[in-house]
């Protein structure tokens, strides 16, 4: 009965989404206030019924209702309750329902927390988001019903959840990633609403910018958690593989980063209007493309769930309608929203323009590397693989170009500046950065030119930010009172750029200085990695809630002092018989020690063992957290709350009535 209730609630949600897509749009066209005023209520109603549907599916998983096909395929009675719940989105049908739920959450959030929006604009924005919801809910109902039954033959137990997904990472990573993916639908909806109104100005950018920053922050955290999950779960110490499905999440992030900066220029100076609209369309289109890559079956990946061509065709048609329709509207309206404000090539605007061009080129680079093998295969020209050598060769230089410019951005002036002033502002930070690049890599035994370059760029960025903060707060005379004058938006920029600097150091240091030993070890043997002595003590049998494991015990010492006791495992899951590696990690600020078990080798208790020394690997993830916190901080800026006080004067948005 509960699955039928969930299915019925999903049908009602689809009807409400259809009404949300049609009624407010008709009201905006006919200037019918009552029809436009229905939009927030329809958005909340849609959320309520999708939430009911999602809850019913979660109950089916928690109650081991194996008459539901998706539960029988992705759960098991021995599965711990927390993983039964996360298994709701550990499959194609459930993850798509989670996507729809998060889309409805974003839609309702816009409806509830945007009282400053003119009614005409709000109705158009919610109508566009309702149309997107129609596409995804119809996808669930027509091709991916999560409540399909296995009647009358009900299996006694389920097939179990993929062991790779039986991890806390599954609980956090996909929801955060989807919050970012789907969050760009808000920026997309604002862009389409502005194009329909035929006018863009600073108000539009100010309305759209907080939502875009929050979506970008969630996507940053989602990608970061995915990288961390891969690092400790897959058993070989890698943190990024340039996997096509990883790229599918990375491309919207790159486009979204350009969009965040472009919105800042549009809000402050009224520039880059057409560019900003196009980036909003591009970012959400890449999110839909990622959905197609994961759900269509064209890729083989741990992330890919569906292999049904009908599903892929449905998403491809939906993608064509959304992208094609929005680009046609953009082509018709773009001349009306072009910017007419001038600026010097030596100015903050030019630096932000360069930033956007670099991020757009990086996005297109990753897009080409991801789709090229698919096109070649579709044309029957054979199998091609585009891997890390290509991506590293083209992506790394682009980021190296970007870092120096990021130091100029905060200290530069709008509209017009001078290179002489830049030189005066950044001469001392530049000298400090060069000294750091020469001396800091000497801490390691081997001086590495790539690490030195990373330190140079990061120190240049950090010192430039410190110089700008010092100047803005009025030097020592202004401390600490001057700190209070700095806005949350400014602190958000500082945090995000500091996070980027930390990521640069972390990526380069762990790539250049990592040490890996793959060897055969028996209990009692030792191996030394980067001055750490790993002693293999024993192998013990361990029983988990739904698995049996061989657990190795390692004692790690340095200069005779105990550093850590590590216990990697080789697990065999009882329901499916799958064998998984669980690495053991001793984390640290400046290094990780990583041990993973391979397969038993011959007689005498010998095992294939992988030992890693990973310097500064956590700086990447800490830097990503700083970037996300920076994006969240910008939303606290007073000017976004101040809009509400003047909302009544523009309640019907007559300036957008065209």
Mean pLDDT of 536-561: 94
The residues spanned by each domain of the chain are 1-164, 515-616
- Contact indicator for 195, 330 with CB cutoff of 8 Å: yes
Mean pLDDT score across all residues of the chain? 87
Residue 293 has a pLDDT of: 78
In our burial notation (b when 16+ CB lie closer than 10 A, e otherwise), range 247-275 reads bbbbbbbbbbbbbbbbbbbbbebebbbbb
Mean pLDDT of 239-244: 86
Give 22's contacts (C-beta < 8 A, 6+ positions apart): 127
Q: Give me 87's structure tokens.
A: 């298994």
Highest averaged pLDDT of the listed ranges 196-200, 233-237, 308-312, 553-557: 553-557
Highest averaged pLDDT of the listed ranges 96-100, 160-164, 652-656: 96-100
The residue among 343 and 55 whose pLDDT is bigger is 55
> In which band, very low, low, confident or very high, does the pLDDT at 648 lie, cut at 50, 70 and 90?
very low
The residue among 145 and 444 whose pLDDT is bigger is 145
Mean pLDDT of 303-322: 73
Mean pLDDT of 180-204: 86
Mean pLDDT of 363-368: 93
Mean pLDDT of 586-592: 94
Q: In the chain, how long is the greatest CA-to-CA distance?
A: 83
Predicted confidence (pLDDT) per residue in 36-51, tens digit: 999 999 999 999 999 9
Q: Give me 405's structure tokens.
A: 């410019």
Write the secondary structure of 583-640 as one string of H (helix), E (strand) and C (coil). Answer: CEEECCCCEEEEEEEEEECCCCCCEEEEEEEEECCHHHHHHHHHHHHHHHHHCCCHHH
Percent of the chain with pLDDT strictly greater than 70? 92
Predicted confidence (pLDDT) per residue in 325-353, tens digit: 999 998 888 776 555 666 778 888 888 88
> In which band, very low, low, confident or very high, does the pLDDT at 443 lie, cut at 50, 70 and 90?
confident
pTM for the whole structure: 0.92
pLDDT at residue 385 above 90?
A: no
Residue 649 has a pLDDT of: 39
pLDDT at residue 258 above 60?
A: yes
- Contact indicator for 624, 523 with CB cutoff of 8 Å: no
Residue 519 has a pLDDT of: 93
- Contact indicator for 66, 154 with CB cutoff of 8 Å: yes
Residue 338 has a pLDDT of: 59
Residue 342 has a pLDDT of: 67
pLDDT at residue 308 above 80?
A: no
Q: How far apart are CA 453 and CA 505, in angstroms?
A: 9
> In which band, very low, low, confident or very high, does the pLDDT at 306 lie, cut at 50, 70 and 90?
very low
pLDDT at residue 621 above 80?
A: yes
Give 14's contacts (C-beta < 8 A, 6+ positions apart): 134, 137, 138, 141
Residue 658 has a pLDDT of: 39
Residue 339 has a pLDDT of: 58
Partners of 518 in the β-ladder: 610
Predicted confidence (pLDDT) per residue in 264-287, tens digit: 888 888 788 888 899 999 999 999
Residue 235 has a pLDDT of: 67
What is the sign, positive or negative, of the torsion defined by CA atoms of 370, 372, 378, 382? negative
Residue 603 has a pLDDT of: 74
> In which band, very low, low, confident or very high, does the pLDDT at 650 lie, cut at 50, 70 and 90?
very low
Mean pLDDT of 18-36: 95
pLDDT at residue 644 above 70?
A: no
Predicted confidence (pLDDT) per residue in 117-163, tens digit: 899 999 999 999 999 999 999 999 998 899 999 988 889 998 988 88
- Which stretch of 301-310, 311-320, 342-351 has the lowest confidence by average pLDDT? 301-310
Predicted confidence (pLDDT) per residue in 457-504, tens digit: 999 999 989 888 888 887 666 677 777 788 898 899 999 999 999 999
- Contact indicator for 601, 607 with CB cutoff of 8 Å: yes
Phi, psi angle pair for 549, to nearest 5°: -140, 145
- Which stretch of 126-140, 196-210, 383-397, 596-610 has the lowest confidence by average pLDDT? 196-210
- Which stretch of 141-145, 151-155, 443-447, 577-581 has the lowest confidence by average pLDDT? 443-447
């Amino acid at each position: 009965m509960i699955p039928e209730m969930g299915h019925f609630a999903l049908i009602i949600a689809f009807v409400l989404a259809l009404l949300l897509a049609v009624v407010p749009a008709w009201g905006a066209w006919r200037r019918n206030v009552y029809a436009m005023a229905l939009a927030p209520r329809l958005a909340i109603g849609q959320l309520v019924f999708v939430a009911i549907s999602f809850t019913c599916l979660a109950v089916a998983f928690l109650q081991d209702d194996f008459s539901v096909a998706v539960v029988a395929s992705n759960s098991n009675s021995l599965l711990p309750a927390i993983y039964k719940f996360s298994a709701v989105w550990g499959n194609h049908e459930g993850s798509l329902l989670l996507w729809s739920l998060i889309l409805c959450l974003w839609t309702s959030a816009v409806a509830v927390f945007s009282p400053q929006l003119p009614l005409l604009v709000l109705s158009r924005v919610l109508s566009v988001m309702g149309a997107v919801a129609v596409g995804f809910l119809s996808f669930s109902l027509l091709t991916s019903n999560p409540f399909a039954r296995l009647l009358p033959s009900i299996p006694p137990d389920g097939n179990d959840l993929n062991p790779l997904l039986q991890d806390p990472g599954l609980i956090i990573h996909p929801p955060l990633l989807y919050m970012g993916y789907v969050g760009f639908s808000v920026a997309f909806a604002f862009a389409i609403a502005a194009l329909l109104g035929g006018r863009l100005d600073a108000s539009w950018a100010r309305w759209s910018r907080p939502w875009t920053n929050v979506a970008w922050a969630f996507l940053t955290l989602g990608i970061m958690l995915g990288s961390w999950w891969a690092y400790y779960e897959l058993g070989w110490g890698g943190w990024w593989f340039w996997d096509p499905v990883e790229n599918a999440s990375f491309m919207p992030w790159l486009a979204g980063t350009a969009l965040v900066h472009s919105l800042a220029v549009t809000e402050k100076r009224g520039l880059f209007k057409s560019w900003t609209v196009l980036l909003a369309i591009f970012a959400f289109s890449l999110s839909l493309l990622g959905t197609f890559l994961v759900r269509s079956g064209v890729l083989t990946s741990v992330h890919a769930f569906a292999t049904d061509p009908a599903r892929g065709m449905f998403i491809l048609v939906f993608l064509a309608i959304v992208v094609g329709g929005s680009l046609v509207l953009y082509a018709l309206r773009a001349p009306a929203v072009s910017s007419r404000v001038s600026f010097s090539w030596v100015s903050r605007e030019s630096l932000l323009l360069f930033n956007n061009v670099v991020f757009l080129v990086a996005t297109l680079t990753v897009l080409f590397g991801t789709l090229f093998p698919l096109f070649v295969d579709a044309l029957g020209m054979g199998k091609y693989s585009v891997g890390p050598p290509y991506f590293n060769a083209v992506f790394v230089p682009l980021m190296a170009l970007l870092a120096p410019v990021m130091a100029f951005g905060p200290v530069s002036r709008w509209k017009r500046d001078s290179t002489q002033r830049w030189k005066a502002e950044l001469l001392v930070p530049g000298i400090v950065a060069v000294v750091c690049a020469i001396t800091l890599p000497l801490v390691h035994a081997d001086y590495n030119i790539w690490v030195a370059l990373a330190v140079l760029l990061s120190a240049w960025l950090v010192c430039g930010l410190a110089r700008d903060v010092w100047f803005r707060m009025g030097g020592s005379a202004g401390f600490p009172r001057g700190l209070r004058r700095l806005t949350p938006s400014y602190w958000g920029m500082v945090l995000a750029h500091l996070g980027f600097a930390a990521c640069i150091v972390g990526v380069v240091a762990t790539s250049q200085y990592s040490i890996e030993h793959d060897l055969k070890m028996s209990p009692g043997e030792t191996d030394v990695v980067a001055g750490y002595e790993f002693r293999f003590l024993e192998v013990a049998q361990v029983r988990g809630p739904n698995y049996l494991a061989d657990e190795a015990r390692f004692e790690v010492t340095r200069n005779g002092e105990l550093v850590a006791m590590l216990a990697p495992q080789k697990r065999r899951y009882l329901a499916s018989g799958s064998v998984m590696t669980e690495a053991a990690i001793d984390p640290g600020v400046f290094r990780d020690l990583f041990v993973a078990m391979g397969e038993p080798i011959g007689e005498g208790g010998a095992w294939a063992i992988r030992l890693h020394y990973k310097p500064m690997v956590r700086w990447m993830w800490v830097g990503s957290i700083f970037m996300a916190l920076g994006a969240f901080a910008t939303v606290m800026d007073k000017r976004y709350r101040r809009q509400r006080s003047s909302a009544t004067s523009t309640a019907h948005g007559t300036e957008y009535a065209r």
